Amino acid sequence: MEAQNTGSSIRPIQDVDAIAEKAKLQLEDLLPKAQTLYFSDDCLANASQLTLVEADAHVIDHVCKGGSAVLCTAEKTYSVREAETSNSLLLLQSLTGPSEIEKEGPRHVTDRQVAGTFYTYLELRECQPRLRRLHRLLSADPYRGRLHPGTGYSAARLAEAVQASRAQLETALRESHALLMDGEYRFLECEYEFHVFSLITKFIDENSWSSVEVRRSLTLETLSELEPAAVVAHCFDKHMKPTGETAADGGEPLYTFCEDQVARLFARLLLQPMKTFNLADFTASWQQSVPDGVTTSVDQLRGLAVVNSEVSPQVVVRLAPTDLPDDAPERFAALFAVKQHWTADELHPYLE
Amino acid sequence: MQIFAKLPDGGTEPPSWALVELQGDLESRSATSLAGQLIGDLHFTRQGAPVLIVGHHILWGKVTALEKPLLVMRKRDDLTPAAAESDAMETDAEPESRYHVQAIVRNKILFKSRPKPIIANVPKKI
């Protein structure tokens, strides 16, 4: 930073002052420092190399702390819009503001370079992560056993393909029960998942365990001989939960069914071949098919299917949020095509 | 898609740059490019009001803080493996766009008033 009371310039201060006086400015009313603005030599190159991005407090804070990834920080997702201004924005690397100029001292002039002129800038607007794409990608090739390995997506590839931050992705992956196997995320195909779960229930029966006495390590150990260990563990942990009790022999924690998850698995299987099912028939088959210790109930169908009581006999209709159009008005139209009257509770899983 | 912007070489707060906003466009008198050309003289009154003299016009403006600060980002063309950043990024994903955060702009000098022409006896040689 140059000393306050001097300037560095091509033109002498006297010339600058002469022009100021012609413009009827009183020199004694001006701070001692004048600054002459020039276009820099590389201003044209800069105009194409540089972008101005309007950023909110979170982004500014994040970047100032050395964080990376602006359009998708680790926590939030932003949509980007180019905004045009009818004004010219002159960008300067150095420019002294009035509060930084010493009030006393000889008049002087300093040359300043305008690095570029801008007419547009990018606006960042925080938005909901677009997670539908995540579902679409992972549903394209669900895992269905060793004979059909297929491919999944690594976390990095998902981050590239899906408009969401890493944290939002991790949450979405966890909530949708994506399996991580060999570094790639996969969904399990419904019938295959059911097959693996059936191995678990069969093993429970073979050991004559009650529904609250299931042992995790032996189950995983044994069944990993039949299906990949990661899949068995994933399926077990998704559908079973600790009871809080431990075994009398050895103190191993005991597990029981996650009723809701198990019920939903069976519901999905029942609804797979037929989109619409007579409600009475469905309810009966459903309760009959689930293992002992699991009770089915219509609220477990949230996000899987809806009950339509507007027809007689009542039916249950398979409906996943990913079956619906992304666009809000179209999505509402599709929902109301299923049935006219919805409770807020019923609608909730289908609205972002 | 993730567009990455990072401070170069793990710096902390980026330098503060300045912005001058003018209504309309600056035109060059000659056919040559704007590079290197003089724009005008910027003064501040003792009350801190900015005054810009451009050609035969005088503009009065004000210094304002930007409601949303601007980041000045420079696009990076070098996507060498060495340039692949830390942040636990897996190497199998080449990011689509990488930018360096060159600077931050928190204030601007806005000249909104219509330029007033300077009427004077302009001597032949300035």
pLDDT along chain A (352 residues), means of 10: 64 92 92 92 80 76 56 63 85 93 92 91 74 86 90 87 80 91 92 95 94 94 94 95 90 94 94 90 94 92 91 92 81 89 88 72
What is the separation, in whole angstroms, between the first and last Cα of chain B?
55
Q: Which member of A33, A90, A112 has the closest CB to residue B22?
A: A90
Residues 6+ apart with CB under 8 A from B50: A98, B42, B43, B44, B60, B61, B62, B63, B109, B111
Pick from A181-185, B38-42, B97-101: least confident: B97-101
Cis (ω within 30 of 0) for the bond into A313? Answer: yes
* Chain B contact set for A58 (CB, 8 A): none
Q: Which member of A44, A60, A85 has the closest CB to residue B69?
A: A60
Q: In chain A, where do the E strands start and end?
A: 33-39, 50-54, 77-92, 108-127, 179-181, 184-186, 214-215, 240-246, 253-257, 276-278, 305-308, 315-318
The shortest C-alpha distance from B79 to chain A (Å) reads: 16
Q: Which member of B2, B7, B58 has the closest CB to residue A63?
A: B7
Task: Identify whether the C-beta of residue A174 lies closer than 8 Å to the C-beta of residue A166.
Answer: no
The shortest C-alpha distance from B40 to chain A (Å) reads: 5
The shortest C-alpha distance from A73 to chain B (Å) reads: 8
pLDDT at A35: 93
pLDDT at A123: 80
pLDDT at B97: 58
The shortest C-alpha distance from B100 to chain A (Å) reads: 9
Contact A156 B42 (CB under 8 A): no
The alpha-helical segments, DSSP class H, found in A7-52 are 13-22, 43-49
**C-beta contacts of A341-346 below 8 A and 24+ residues apart:** A341/A310, A342/A306, A346/A302, A346/A306
Domains of chain B: 4-24+39-116 (2.60.40)
Closest CA to A114 of A88, A91, A89: A91
Closest CA to B83 of B69, B95, B101: B95
Residues of A (162-181) whose Cβ lies below 8 Å from B: 163
At B94, the pLDDT band (50, 70, 90 cuts) reads very low
- What proportion of chain B, given as a percentage, has pLDDT over 70? 62
The alpha-helical segments, DSSP class H, found in A100-189 are 132-140, 155-161, 166-175
Contact B75 A49 (CB under 8 A): yes
ipTM over 0.90: no
Task: Identify whether the C-beta of residue B91 lies closer than 8 Å to the C-beta of residue B81.
Answer: yes
pLDDT at B82: 40
Task: Identify whether the C-beta of residue A53 lies closer than 8 Å to the C-beta of residue B70.
Answer: yes
Q: The tokens of A164 are what? A: 């969401």
Q: The tokens of B23 are what? A: 């209504």
At B63, the pLDDT band (50, 70, 90 cuts) reads very high
At B3, the pLDDT band (50, 70, 90 cuts) reads low
pLDDT at B90: 39
Cβ of residue A338 closer than 8 Å to a chain B Cβ? no
Task: Identify whether the C-beta of residue A154 lies closer than 8 Å to the C-beta of residue B90.
Answer: yes
The shortest C-alpha distance from A142 to chain B (Å) reads: 22
Q: Which of A16, A28, A44, A51 should be substituted to probe chain B, the one whose Cβ sees the most B Cβ atoms within 10 Å?
A: A51
Q: How far apart are CA B120 and CA B98, in angstroms?
A: 51
Q: How far apart are CA A101 and CA A94, in angstroms?
A: 13
The shortest C-alpha distance from B80 to chain A (Å) reads: 18
Contact A70 B4 (CB under 8 A): yes
pLDDT at A76: 64
pLDDT at B102: 86
* Chain A contact set for B45 (CB, 8 A): 29-31, 98
Q: The tokens of B36 are what? A: 């290197």
Domain ranges within chain A, ordered by starting residue: 13-126, 131-186, 190-257, 275-350
pLDDT at B61: 94
Q: How far apart are CA A308 and CA A304, in angstroms?
A: 13
* Chain A contact set for B42 (CB, 8 A): 34-37, 95, 112
Instruction: Find the mean pLDDT for residues B36-44.
Output: 92
* Chain B contact set for A93 (CB, 8 A): 15, 17-18, 103
Q: How far apart are CA A139 and CA A182, in angstroms?
A: 18
Q: The tokens of B76 are what? A: 């990076």
Q: How far apart are CA A187 and CA A151, in angstroms?
A: 10
Q: In chain B, where do the E strands start and end?
A: 3-6, 18-23, 38-44, 50-54, 57-60, 62-75, 97-111, 116-117
pLDDT at B13: 78
Decide the pairing of beta strands A108-127 and A33-39: parallel
DSSP state of A96: -
Greater pLDDT, A222 or B74: A222
pLDDT at A169: 87
DSSP state of A141: S
Q: The tokens of A283 are what? A: 């309810």
Cβ of residue B8 closer than 8 Å to a chain A Cβ? no
Asked whether residue B1 carries a pLDDT value surpassing 50, the answer given is no
pLDDT at B85: 44
